[in-house]
Structure 1
Amino acid sequence: MASREPLKQKYLPLRELTLNSRPLVKRAIQFSCDGDLAVAADDSVHVFVPEFPDLTRRRKRIAEGGDPESSDEETNEQQGRYNPETFRTQYSEGSKHMPVSFPPLDPRINKELFDAEGMPFPYDKTSATPKSQRGGDGNDDQEEGEEAEDGDEADEVDGDGEDEYEDDEDDSSVDDDPAGGGARLGSNQPYGAGSGPITSVGSSMNHVVKISWSPSELGVNRRPILGILTGAGTLAMYGDGDMAANVLGSANGYMLQRRELASWLVLWGVGERMMVPGQSPAYSEYIRTFAWAQEIGPGQALLATLNDAKEIAIISVQTVVSVEEVAEKEKPAGGPVEKTVWHVRELARFKAEGPHLPVSIMDPDYVPCGTSFGLSFGPWLEDEGGRTCVVAYLDQNYVGFRKLRINKPWNRGQLPTLQMEDKDAHGQCVHLTTDGFVEFEQGLFHKGVMVGCRGIISTGWHAVPFEVFLTGGAPVEVEKHKTSACGTTYNLQHCENPIIDMVVHPPSDPARPTPAPLYTLVRLSATPTTPNWYETNIPDALDADPNSPYFQWARTIKQKLEILVPADMYQKRAYGADDSDSDEESDDGDLMEDHMEDDEGINYMGEGLTPIDATTGGDAVKEVKVVPEVHPHRFRFHGLTLSPGGGASAVLVSAHSTQHPERGGWHTQRSQVLFGYQPRRVSDRLRDLSIDDTNLNFSLMSSLTTEGNLFEYLYGGGPQVPGVHYPLSSDPRHAHVAQIFAPVVANQKCEVCGAAINQRMVEDDLIGCEKGHFFGICALSGLAVQKPGMTRSCGTCGFKTMRPEILLQKVPENIKDRVKGIIGRGSCMACSGKFLN
């Protein structure tokens, strides 16, 4: 039997990434539910998509009863190409760098939201007519303008439209009465939002403030979308559009096709000059922060936004996918016919104010308080009548938990019935600095008949655990008081290194929960003199397991911080610096050397200065100088994130010199993404932790996507994935689908010669007619794919199936409704993965 070691090289290694940018805020890196990685920069965002291995041959060997790991031919073929461990790594390709801060977004990107709700668009259509519709010297431009008259201009979201649109001379840019009498605002309303002295006039830097992935199954092909908040108070949603994107071929023979993010665009936005149905156009909102609720169902989600007036808005976000039937004479292979309609509507709004009385800025005890990360949703508690959760918000030295509930049923495309309590279900007074946040544990705990959730509060300096019950109890009302009454005016625990990011690890054994949530946090600066830059409550985190996924990057940074080099070598040779700065640093080294040579007959031992007699018996002895050693490296953290299942981690850092100030402009900014992962095995790293003896049980409420499960198998020590590593031949859905399409498969004809298709080439997985015309096979229906562009590929298992509109054309009328029900699931029938666009 061949050795199995070479087969491990089929998977791309997870190695560090170097970015030519650096963020201005913390919490600047996030994994999505599918393993996509988003990294924020100063005015842009990097998005990386993973590449998954092609295990088609493995599944075929399993189906034939063979050993899935004993293919000498495949092993030799793969080794003959090249060793991927040396040349290619995960996330090395398939990335997208998006400028998101300028030019400002055009408010008309939200026009389709109002059209979907049947509401008039707040901005006047005639205030921005395309130039091509105003006449010109070419008829072609006029025709194109007429075709785009129905609102296609809303898709042009890369700019503010100044080059393409002009204001009508007879239209006012801003109406005098925007909220009354059906009057509508002009789309070129002046920039600026909120009531702040800077943001209200549009003078913000408009840098990236926060990024956050939506839950799974919300966007096109059930993929998540990315919310990006900028300093101008604008929250924009980025994701796949309906337009077809080029699917990149696999870079080698054992990887699947790669996703290309060319179809990404701004789907819609909230804040500043943009608004969604249900919001008043009389006030231009400045969004300070936002948060996604945890997964609810396919195409359904809740979004919470907080403005500078301390108002939290709960917004319903839904997608409805319609499959349009196309006439036979038309050729749908040239483009997609599926259309995704976004339904976004504000449901409720409440004031997020704590019990603490305001303090005058002239008061000696006044401390500024604010955060761009002060919203967070807890896990859902589902029962027969609906589902309940809490939304946590931060105010001045106060963390409030407001309970909300969605009643069942919530039919897709309809507004949910939302119930929200008038008072907080729980409140906690704690000293907060700027940029505090709350992280929930992904699960529910049970104490007797009570069910609740728990997590960690980052006060900016310290990690404080909390518990909130979702069942039982009444809302609490705390009387107004000063922070001196609850002892939260000052930070009584001394700390000078603020928390940058924190993650709460999922429980490894829900039946044996730990007394408190397991967390890991990183602080702003990691230097040889700041040992608290890394903190966790997992016992012996750095030394217990050398393969621990959370701490490989911490061990790497720790080793670099311990490096010592002689000071004169570091100064003269510009140790660890770029060549462009070598001349200046050499001058600094000469100055230091001259200063050390001022006192003759003195031997410098280490960092202490010990005078030693340089003469013995009248004979001069030449002294030997031992210069002090310095630590050349220090690091600054910008974010920490966990993979979908918590088995792998990533941290965003930037390296700095300890001896020299930074030189250069924006083009010299660099940052690195460091990863932590574990071998491909089931992890047992947290099995032996101490267990609380109280009546406490724990249950996880969320499940991973197929993409998330595969990512955890590759880098998080997770198990093999059904439908990807081995076929699901026993799944009753497959037999049901085969019965539906069996009559159509038996009666299909060759479109080249008209002969019956009844030949099969098993080795090449082809089907054809008696005259030798062979085609590929649809993995869903078994029909022959007789034209190019008729199929779509699963991005996880690689199966190719016909597009929905093609299948509907090929089946008779009596089974079209059943086929629509199968297609409506929108996921791969083999592994429940997501399709490529």
Structure 2
Amino acid sequence: MKLPRAFQLPVLLASALLAPVPLVSAEHTSNWAVLVGTSRFWFNYRHLANVLSMYRTVKRLGIPDSQIILMLPDDMACNPRNAFPGTVYSNSDRAVDLYGDNIEVDYRGYEVTVENFIRLLTDRVGDEMPRSKRLLTDDRSNIFIYMTGHGGNEFLKFQDAEEIGAFDLADAFEQMWEKRRYHEILFMIDTCQANTMYSKFYSPNIIATGSSELDQSSYSHHADNDVGVAVIDRYTYYNLEFLESEVKDLSSKKTIGDLFDSYSYDKIHSDAGVRYDLFRGGADAARSRLLTDFLGNIQNVEVDGSRNATIDEEILALSRTIAALTKMAEEEEAAAKNSTANPAETKSQRNQTKRQIHQAKPLTDDDCSICIRDMPTMSSSKEPRTKVTLESISLSAVPMTTHNVAWSPDAELALGCEDSVHIYLPEFSPPSAKISWANYESVRQYNDIALRFPVVELRRPELNRPLFDAVGQEFQVFDSDPTLTAAPITGMGGSLNHVVALEWSPCGLGRMKRSVLAVLTSGGALTIYCEGASDGMGSLKVQGRNTRTLRSWVVPWAVGGALHVPVVGADETLDRDDHITAFAWARDTGAPGALLAYATHDNEVVVLSVQARHKAEAAPGHAGEWRVEEVARFLAEGPHQLLDPTDPDYTTGGSSFSISWSPWLNQGNSKSSIISYVANNYVGFRQVTVRTPWGHMETPKVDVAPADSSGICLFLGPDAFVVWEDWIWTVDNEKVCRGLVATPARVQAFQLPFAVGASRTPSRKHSVYECDTAYPTPEDNAEISNPITGLVIHPPSLSLVTSTPAFTLVRLCATSKNDNWHQTSLSLPVDPETHEREPRWATEIEQSIQHQLPRALAFQMIYNPENENAEQGEDGSDDDDLDGDSAYDPGEGDGDGDDIAGMRGLDTSDQVHTTRMRIWGMASSPGKGVTAVFVTPQSTLKPDRITFGGAKCRVLFGRHVPPEGKDDPLAPPTNLSTEARMWEWMYGGGPPVPGIESAGDRATDTPLKRKFAGVARSRLCPFCGTVITPDGKASRCVKGHAFEKCATTGIPIMAPGVSNTCTVCGSKCLKLGELLAMASDLEDIRGLVREISPELCGGCGGKFIN
């Protein structure tokens, strides 16, 4: 709306009158503190206490948390060894809890890295970085920087994983000075040989002090016998003693010189050092600086408490004039539009004008504040949400195995790393959120908070006692060594125990019909993780939305080693002592339970039936009722005779991914699937049949064929695996299924019929020399060193049948020298200029490995060798792509003067590639529309150092777009959950999902809502007692009190805690117990309630938050 001329002058007057008065120039206007601990592990308790002691001091002297950056690499307060949980003490009498209830940690755990510290100082962070994690200083800010940890000559260790050098720190301070990010710096460091860390400083206005000279150690002050470790260092202790006794408040006149003069060798047991030469005015000026100039809050602006009545009156009068002119202008504009609009439009515009005028009320004497209200924006439900960008995920981890990416049927992403699992939950923002579709590109596909939990904890055999109680078998514990055993793999509890494989179950086993996660560790145990009953704190708010947490996750049972499960037909526990080497869940059977197969070190395959029942009223943390039974076991050693390891022709084999299930074939009163297993240079196929119907929490009837229905002899390297096509074909009136074997040097296709009712004799035992599989073929020899680590079979085309399934594969290593790290059998687009040739992750990896620098420039480290990839370079965020677009390009001539000067005299014709990529695994989404790869960028210029702190890893996403002009119908994925269909719609090009596009598209009149309509009309407002009537998605009373409606029944929800929230659409549905209480007089109320799912949303079918 264009403002009338009469309205423009008061606006200018208002802006001039309300403009802030410029502050009088001051020497410095703010104090900031950066407090950094760099040590992990319990025995470094004192380093955490050092940092928290300094944190308490600067807060006591008035620096607010908004101006304190606290970096803690470990949480000693929550360490299981802590005899005083939730506390940290530095004094012998434990009088002051340093951890307290009000500390604000800005960087925690794996966020405390050298890179993040330098980015913090130089402000080289992305726009998405929250203000709490930024050092928002300027040229009038004094900064107190305190660091503590383990160090040496000109270096300080970060988490025993990396180091920051004296030159690195000096260069960071120089960048801060050039960018006018500080006025003066007080640098204090407590570590061995600490004084060497500030020896390379060359930037002005820095005062530095350290605890020890070259070749001197920094000693602890005292230990607490109850805590069991040293609790503070001597240097920090005597600094705190001085500050607590001499600097009691901001009026203190104690100076930097007074503090430094208090240092003595007798107290600290080392020679504390100081440096004044960089400070303006030298030692005298530096020593005269007050300690509160760095450690206390500063307020340069004083506000007179008396009010200026004249200004108040002028502001009030001006606000009334502005409001009146606004109303006049809007009425004139509405009148002009009414002259040409139709009556319906006129009424709508009049109502809109009335609402706008209501928002612009004048200021009064009682209310001198301005209220800004966010108005929700609604958009067309037909607009596809595939515009949302698939952003990569960054994390610090140590991958120990391949195939460590797993997608659940609800699009939850799990990553297996060293001794832990990272879980990313999909983000489904509801259409009613205050965000428009036009801005939807800024929404990430996964929540910002990742769930991470360790998986190597030793599980006792008693964990499985409820499984035996459920089937009425006697539970018995056998004597066995739970640590190291004589088995071929490390025993449970061993120091080398790490994640080997992980996989999600079909939907329905977990609470709220979710999947459960099975994790195999190198100790030979398979552990199941799921959500337990919630204590009401099972979710947290992330950007205004509820998301799930790990608070309620539990381990209901495990198998392997000393952990046994009931065996069908047995009366008591059987001492199997199985050490599991591989496992796989069967695909969804459509029954209440699921089947799980695992391979043992004795070359056996075991089939388990798994069922669960969860009650809404269970006690917090309850894992549910589980029925797990061993229903079948067969020998899977193959026809080849095993060679002795000392035989010259012996080759290593075995696979942690040797088990796989085909799709289920429905045969009326039974369902059949085929288990594939990998043995010594042999892939066997064994048919499994389940009798139907399968009653809930009842033992299923499972039949396993006495012999393999088929088998393939071929040379297999370590970690060979099989992938099945998710489709059953009819060929010559026979049901067949296809798949691929990754040897893993190459791909071998196969097609296998379902041998209904057929029985075969076992394959004849023979030598690998007879079938010529003792040695790899010449083709395999070329690829055996770069094995396949990920293989995805795409949905088949129903209009064009191919001889082999369409697939995409990736290999372990991608470099500039090999071009077969990514292969696909999909047809290429007609015009690569208008259609993507390959998924986005492939493009990003290719651009990264092809990135080059002049050899001299690269090896002299004049420029960062990998812009944002492996090292997370200089001026980008962790979420930047791996394309190196902003890295140096010799063909570009737009560099600044320093870049040009650095390039003079260098030979730019000799280029070297800077990056190679390690590809750990690949997985496809539940609907096959999106693929994800887990990669680690590595430098080609220097050896990589991967320690406890982890390497910089990325998860990249991409979508296979069909070629232009080809719209072949694909085999539709079956039994997808609402979450999976939502994911495919948003990111995989799938069709819209009914019930979640917008509130207007939801069914407003369903049979259930009609039956509960009377109950909905009878509800009265709890605030004013008036009748509640429906108003769109909500219900309102006469006085305007709004209540959200139950998405299932349409009944208004008028109290907290009586409903469940959908994770997909955000709607609420009344709990079944509340419905029974509200509609007790309704005819056949219990029959109606049985039609309602206690786990699924009645609006879209999504699952509730636990």
TM range (shorter): 0.7 to 0.9
Q: Is the 8 A contact 2:792 2:922 kept in 1?
A: no
Q: Offset at 1:290?
A: 0.7
| Cα distance in 1 for residues equivalent to 2:722 and 2:789 | 10
Select 2:563's aligned residue among 266, 274, 277: 274
- Is the 1:376–1:391 Cα contact (8 Å) retained in structure 2? yes
Kindly indicate whether the alpha-carbon contact (under 8 Å) linking 2:935 and 2:955 is maintained by their aligned counterparts in 1: yes
The match for 2:694 among 402, 410, 415 is 410
Residue identity in the other structure for 1:263: S
Specify whether residues 4 and 569 from structure 1 end up closer, same or farther in structure 2 by C-alpha distance, changes over 3 A only.
farther
What TM-score comes out, normalization by structure 1 length?
Answer: 0.75
Tell me the alpha carbon deviations over residues 548-603 of structure 1, each in whole angstroms, 9 at most, x when there is no partner: 59621112211222222111100112644599xx9xxxxxxxxxxxxxxxxxxxxx
After superposition, residues 70-85 of structure 1 pair within 5 angstroms as 85=441
1:222 equivalent in alignment to 2:513 = yes
Q: Distance in 2 between matches of 1:371 and 1:764?
A: 54
Letter in 1 for 2:767: K
- Give yes or no for the alignment of 1:288 onto 2:555: no
CA deviation profile, 1:150-208 (whole Å, cap 9, x unmatched):
xxxxxxxxxxxxxxxxxxxxxxxxxxxx4xxxxxx6xxx53148752553585461110
Aligned to 1:709: 981
1:727 positional shift: 7.0
CA distance change for structure 1 residues 224 and 444 in 2, over 3 Å: closer, same or farther? same
In the alignment, what sits opposite 1:808? 1076
Q: Which runs of 5+ in 1 are unaligned?
A: 58-73, 124-177, 179-184, 325-331, 583-605, 607-621, 692-696
Q: How many pairs align? A: 686
Specify the SS of the correspondent of 2:1091.
helix
Over residues 751-776 of structure 1, what are the superposed CA-to-partner deviations in whole Å (9 max), with x where a residue is unaligned? 678x6x732251571255x7887643
How far 1:304 moved relative to its partner?
A: 0.5
- What is the match of residue 525 of structure 2? 234
Q: 1:36 aligns with which of 373, 392, 412?
A: 412
Distance 1:558 1:312 in 2: 40
1:661 equivalent to 2:943? Answer yes
Aligned 1:281-680 pairs, distance under 5 A? 281-297=574-590, 299-322=592-615, 340-472=624-756, 474-475=759-760, 477-492=762-777, 493=779, 494-496=781-783, 497-540=785-828, 544=832, 548=836, 551-573=839-861, 575-576=863-864, 628-663=910-945, 665-677=947-959
Residue from 1071, 1092, 1102 that aligns with 1:823 = 1092
Separation (CA, whole Å) in 2 of partners of 1:785 and 1:218: 30
Please tell me the residue identity of whatever aligns with 1:705: S
CA offset at residue 777 of structure 1?
A: 2.6
1:15–1:89 CA contact under 8 A, matched in 2: yes
User: Could you say which residue in structure 1 is the equivalent of 2:332?
Assistant: none
Report if aligned partners of 1:404, 1:418 keep a CA contact under 8 Å in 2: yes
Deviation at 1:670, TM superposition (A): 1.6
Q: Give the corresponding residue for 2:392.
A: 16
8 Å contact 2:727–2:737 — kept in the other structure? yes
Distance across 2 between alignment mates of 1:271 and 1:476 = 31
- How big is each residue's C-alpha offset from its partner over 1:430-458, in whole Å with a ceiling of 9 and x where there is no partner? 11011000000111111021001111001
The DSSP-based 3-state class of the residue aligned with 2:789 is strand
Q: Secondary structure at the match of 1:389?
A: strand
Counterpart pick for 1:105 among 459, 469, 476? 459
Comparing both chains, which one has the higher relative contact order based on Cα–Cα distances under 8 Å and sequence gaps of 6 or more? 1
Mapped partners of 2:835, 2:446: distance in 1: 21
**Residue 478 and residue 298 in structure 1: after superposition, are their counterparts in 2 closer, same or farther (change >3 A)?**
closer
Residues 1:213 and 2:482 are matched in the alignment:
no
* C-alpha deviation, 1:669, in angstroms: 1.5
- The structural deviation recorded for 1:406 is 0.7
C-alpha distance in 1 between matches for 2:639 and 2:503: 29
- CA distance in structure 2 between the partners assigned to 1:819 and 1:293 by the alignment: 34
Deviation at 1:513, TM superposition (A): 2.7
Percent pairwise identity:
31
Asked whether the equivalents of residues 384 and 985 of structure 2 are also in contact (C-alpha less than 8 Å), the reply is: no
Report the 3-state secondary structure (helix = DSSP H, G, I; strand = E; otherwise coil) of the residue aligned with 2:557.
strand
C-alpha distance 202-46 of structure 1, shift in aligned 2 (>3 A)? closer
Q: 1:265 aligns with which of 542, 554, 560?
A: 554
Q: 2:992 aligns to what?
A: 720
Give yes or no for the alignment of 1:736 onto 2:1020. Answer: no
Of structures 1 and 2, the larger Rg is shown by 2
Look up the equivalent residue of 1:722 and give its one-letter code.
P
Residues of 2 paired with 1:546 and 1:265: CA distance? 49
Is contact 2:580-2:601 (8 Å) kept?
Answer: yes
The one-letter code matched in structure 2 to 1:278 is V
CA, structure 1 residues 644+213, in 2 after alignment: closer, same or farther (shift >3 Å)? same
| CA distance in structure 2 between the aligned counterparts of 1:389 and 1:294, rounded to whole angstroms | 9
Aligned amino acid, residue 666 of structure 1: F
Query: 2 CA distance for matches of 1:6 and 1:728?
Result: 11
Distance 1:293 1:8, change over 3 A: closer
Is the 8 Å Cα contact of residues 919 and 934 (structure 2) preserved in structure 1?
yes
Measured against aligned partners, the alpha-carbon deviations of 1:223-248 in whole angstroms (never above 9, x if no partner) come to 11111111111111112111244433
Rounded to whole Å, the distance in 1 between the matches of 2:582 and 2:863 is 41
Q: CA deviation at 1:49?
A: 0.5
Q: Cα gap change, 1:3/1:352 in structure 2, threshold over 3 Å: closer, same or farther?
A: closer
Following superposition, the deviation at residue 672 of structure 1 comes to: 0.9
Q: Deviations over 1:789-836 (max 9, x none)?
A: 111011122221112222233333863531442234732222221111
| Greater CA drift, 546-555 or 660-669 | 546-555
Decide whether aligned partners of structure 1 residues 3 and 263 sit closer, same or farther in structure 2, where only a CA change above 3 A counts: closer
Structure 1 residues 727 and 623: CA distance shift in structure 2, 3 A: closer
Distance apart, 1:516 and its partner CA: 0.7
**Given that residues 388 and 403 in structure 1 are in contact (C-alpha distance below 8 angstroms), is that contact kept between their aligned partners in structure 2?**
yes
Q: Which residue is 1:782 aligned to? A: 1050
Question: How does the TM-score come out when normalised to structure 2?
Answer: 0.57
Distance 1:780 1:575, change over 3 A: same
Structure 1 distance, partners of 2:592, 2:924, is 24
Are the aligned partners of 1:219 and 1:299 in contact in 2 as well (CA < 8 Å)? no
CA contact (8 A) 1:550 1:648 kept: no
SS at match of 1:394: strand
* 1:478 CA drift (Å): 1.9
Give the whole-Å Cα distance in 2 for the aligned partners of 1:450 and 1:385: 18
The residue correspondences of 1:29-178 to structure 2 (distance < 5 A) are: 29-56=405-432, 85=441, 89-101=444-456, 103-123=457-477, 178=478
SS at match of 1:218: coil
Shift of 1:362: 2.3
- RMSD of aligned Cα (Å): 3.7
Q: 1:111 to 1:568 in 2, by over 3 A?
A: same
Per the alignment, residue 128 of structure 1 pairs with none
Preserved CA contact (<8 Å) 1:193 1:233? no
CA 640–687 in structure 1, closer or farther in 2 if over 3 Å, else same: farther
Q: Distance in 2 between matches of 1:245 and 1:374?
A: 40
Contact 1:796 1:833 in 2 (8 A): yes
With over 3 angstroms needed to count, the CA separation of the structure-2 counterparts of 1:475 and 1:533, relative to structure 1, is same
